[in-house]
Structure 1
Amino acid sequence: MPIYFAYGRLMDPKIMASRCPNAKALGLAFMDGYRFIVTSEGVPSMVKAPGKTVHGVLWDCRIGEITVVDGAEALFRKGLDKVFLPIRHGLQSKSAIIYVSRTAKTGKPQLKAWEGVLSACEHWEFPETYREELRQWDLR
């Protein structure tokens, strides 16, 4: 089954369950060497940043659900790449599907794209410093 790394609204278990009811949360995962941003289009993404980490949730999805995730991540709009990158899950490194914008230009979060992000950080008990970093985007 494909493994998907969510670091935006699909970290939220309720939102993910509404899109992919058979997906199983494998738990917290991390992208080292990247930092979280909100693009000029208002959607979460990440950019390379040595020494930084993007926190997220690893989901084990059925093959048919990946097309649903593609739609939720708006894969078909211009400027977004679907890539396989190594993520850290506990002590293991795994290859996961990740959606990343081609732009590093930042902006203000779109309401729909931002829905559930901060509550998911609370639910998964991300480190307080990371939660604060994301709250700063909410204030823009």
Structure 2
Amino acid sequence: MKSPITPPGEAPNAKYYFAYGSNLHMKQMHRRCPNSKYVGFGRLPNFRWQINERGFANVVAAAGHWVDGLVYEIDDGDEYKLDISEGVSKGAYEKMLMPVVVRMACCSLYRRPVSWVVARGGPSEARNKAQHVHWKNRTAGAAASTSVMRRTSNALVYISLDHVQDSGPRDEYVGRINRGLKDAVSLGMEEDYIRNCIRPFVPELGSRGLMSSAETGAGDHVNLI
């Protein structure tokens, strides 16, 4: 019996993390998990996206729905830092391994350190540069591959099982989510998904006033999802 094929460059025991909230923003992800690498676009089936009553992103079980996000490869040190930033010890989120459908990034971005992407101006700039290289290769006579590698892999997902009521976001969180969405769109997240699944909870920047510090829970320093 043949062993499962490991995509080129992937560590045999790679640890994946599925980001669906503000960690879609690669600059934030780099700050939190400096050793992380970008793997590709991910989809968590049979869950839906929400802002819960704590004012942060969450996923809740919902047959026939899905949550889109980005998949990163992380090491033990990154995971430890994620546990802190997501408030695991405070009961804000629990950590679970869940099957995520992963669409691997193009070869120019696959397993690139997030620090590399950020240093080049973010995923949009990095993607454009990768496309430029791809076009040069095509015009030079290189064969163009139209295949996209997809696989289902277990990934760490931070989820709240205790706070599952639909609600609105804390004000500071609106900006972080929107910055993350900008990065995610440049890497393949569809506008229809954002409009139908995220915009009912999170407005675009500048579309509402600031809430008071009491409403935003000022003093709660857990830096969540």
- Identify whether the pair has TM-score above 0.5, normalized to the shorter chain: yes
* Superimposed CA distance per residue, residues 20-61 of structure 1 (whole angstroms, 9 cap, x where no aligned partner): 111001121000111001110111111111111101111101
Where 2:82 maps in the other structure, the secondary structure is helix
In the other structure, the counterpart of 1:17 is 30
| 2:194 counterpart residue number | 131
TM-score (norm 2): 0.58
Residues 47-56 or 117-126, more deviating: 117-126
Q: Which has the higher strand share?
A: 1
Structure 1 residues not aligned, in runs of 5+: none
Paired with 1:112 and 1:22, the residues of 2 have a C-alpha distance of 26
**2:194 partner letter:** R
Give the structure 1 partner of residue 179 of structure 2.
Answer: 119
Q: May I ask how many residue pairs the two structures share in their alignment? A: 140
Matching residue within 95, 99, 103 for 2:154:
95
Query: Which of the numbers 162, 167, 170 marks the counterpart of 1:107?
Result: 167
Deviations 1:85-126 (A, max 9, x none): 100002200001111011321211123444422232232221
Q: Where does the alignment leave 5 or more consecutive residues of structure 2 unmatched?
A: 1-13, 104-149, 209-225
Change (3 A) 1:10 1:48: same
CA–CA distance in structure 1, aligned partners of residues 15 and 77 of structure 2: 10
Q: Please give the alpha-carbon distance, in whole angstroms, between the structure 2 residues aligned to 1:66 and 1:95.
A: 15
Trace 1:1-140 onto structure 2 (pairs within 5 A). 1-90=14-103, 91-102=150-161, 103-125=163-185, 126-132=189-195, 133-139=197-203
